[in-house]
Amino acid sequence: MDIKEMLTHIDHTQLKAFATYEDIKKLCEEALEYNTASVCIPPAYVADVKKDFGDKLKICTVIGFPLGYSTNVTKVFETADAVKNGADEIDMVINIGRFKNGEDEYVADEIKAVRAACRGLILKVIVETCYLNEDEKKRICRIVSESGADYIKTSTGFGTAGATVEDIKLFKENIDEGIKMKAAGGIRTVEALQSFIDLGCERVGASATAEFAKEI
């Protein structure tokens, strides 16, 4: 796979707390230039990007980000607001603490509730693998598979570690057929990008897209 094709798998991402709208517009212009799968941006900028770029690119935004511990009602409201503002894709963070309590039904219910609020849009579920042991990773694969999500996603990029090859291999062995994978967090080289795509990741979250494109 050449680099141009690899770029089409990227959710071109800018989620820093201090990102200005000029930063976001630059991100969108790069996404159009490099033909990335989407831009992944803070919820507060979704309406602005929709107004300025219309349907020229796919807008992904984040819910319950980055810690995941807002209530289900809050996540549903955030999702509905993002959809109203023009989001095309939703990346939600699970309630990691509830999950580690063993409250699997709670986590399944919150995914299902956000799924309903998405109104048919793509839903990616961020499980933050750096905080989970192997058994927990297998459990969350099962929950995500059974909760109506489209993707399981490794990381927020704000945790103690990002995507790893080992976690993607574990996902592949434990998710249902039809559930896609997104690797995110710490992917800063073309070699890493290629390795995750080769392992079967349909999407890769990255902020280094312009650097990757220099390889073309």
The residues annotated with a catalytic role in the active site are 91, 153, 182
The position carrying tokens 């309406």 is 47
Q: What is the DSSP string of 164-216?
A: -HHHHHHHHHHSPTT-EEEEESS--SHHHHHHHHHTT-SEEEES-HHHHHTT-
Q: Count of CB atoms within 10 A of residue 196's CB? A: 25
d(CA 10, CA 208): 10
Q: Which of 117, 14, 26 is nearest to 60 (CA)?
A: 14
Beta bridge partners of 38: 11
